[in-house]
A = this chain, B = another copy of it.
Amino acid sequence: MYERYLHHFNEKVPLTQEEWELIQNYLTLKKLRKRQYLLQEGDVCKLVAFVEKGALRLYNVSENGTEHIVLFAVEGQFMTDLYSTFSGEPSIYNIDAIEDSELVLITRTASDELRKLSPKYQEFAFLETSEAYIQLAKRMTSVISLSLEQRYQELITNYPNIVQRVPQHMIASYMGLTPETLSRVRKRMSNTK
């Protein structure tokens, strides 16, 4: 347990044994079965989750009932509704498990406390937030400037086996498309290459 989290941490900010033991006190483990919720619309998000194993999605549901996936998180990535954790306002999103998953959780308040106690954790939190921003900015760039084919190609290189793991209609939702359109994009791509 915590293997991946610790490994991930050490890669960015190397830790001594004592430092890790301090940090570990603030973490908890949680297993989530496929389709189980980590966060439901209307609740305040108080947690940040790290995916040890499995996959999560963050999505909202529009008036007509359509789901819009804003984010995926697979092994080694973090997931939270950052806005809700900061503001304390109810979330407009749902977070649930796409596969059976194992998560490392830390509450927002624990994280704040730990950031004050541990300079290494502080640095780690800063780096992770920066990286999340960078990833999102990259995606925004591709959304406004690339063709659907190029965007799908990029998705595959960013999440190499997402296609095997996640149903296609969820990928369509993540790209802001209907399932039919994504199906046709894929067909076009397999024909022309």
Residues of B within 8 A of A29 (CB): none
A135's nearest neighbour on chain B, judged by CB, is B83
13 sampled A-B residue pairs with Cβ under 8 A: A68-B144, A70-B141, A82-B133, A82-B134, A83-B137, A83-B138, A115-B126, A122-B126, A125-B126, A133-B133, A133-B136, A143-B143, A143-B176
A62 within 8 A of B: yes
Within 8 A of B (CB), among A59-82: 60, 62, 66, 68-71, 82
Chain A to chain B: the 8 pairs with minimum beta-carbon distance, closest first: A144-B176, A68-B145, A133-B133, A83-B134, A129-B129, A136-B136, A68-B144, A126-B126
With contact pairs A62-B145, A130-B129, A145-B62 given, residues A140 and B70 touching in the complex (Cβ less than 8 Å)? yes
**From A62, A115, A130, residue with most partner B Cβ within 10 Å:** A130
A130's nearest neighbour on chain B, judged by CB, is B129
The binding surface of chain A is classed by DSSP as helix
A26 within 8 A of B: no
Cα–Cα, bound, A156→B161 (Å): 39
Residues of B within 8 A of A66 (CB): 145
A132 within 8 A of B: yes
User: In the complex, are the beta carbons of B86 and A134 less than 8 A apart?
Assistant: yes
A139 within 8 A of B: yes
Distance from A77 Cβ to chain B, minimum over Cβ atoms (Å):
14
Residues of B within 8 A of A50 (CB): none
Distance from A163 Cβ to chain B, minimum over Cβ atoms (Å):
19
User: In the complex, are the beta carbons of A140 and B140 less than 8 A apart?
Assistant: yes
Q: Given A68-B141, A86-B134, A122-B126, 16 more contacts at CB 8 Å? A: A62-B145, A68-B145, A70-B140, A70-B141, A82-B130, A82-B133, A82-B134, A83-B134, A86-B130, A115-B126, A126-B129, A136-B136, A136-B140, A139-B140, A140-B143, A143-B143
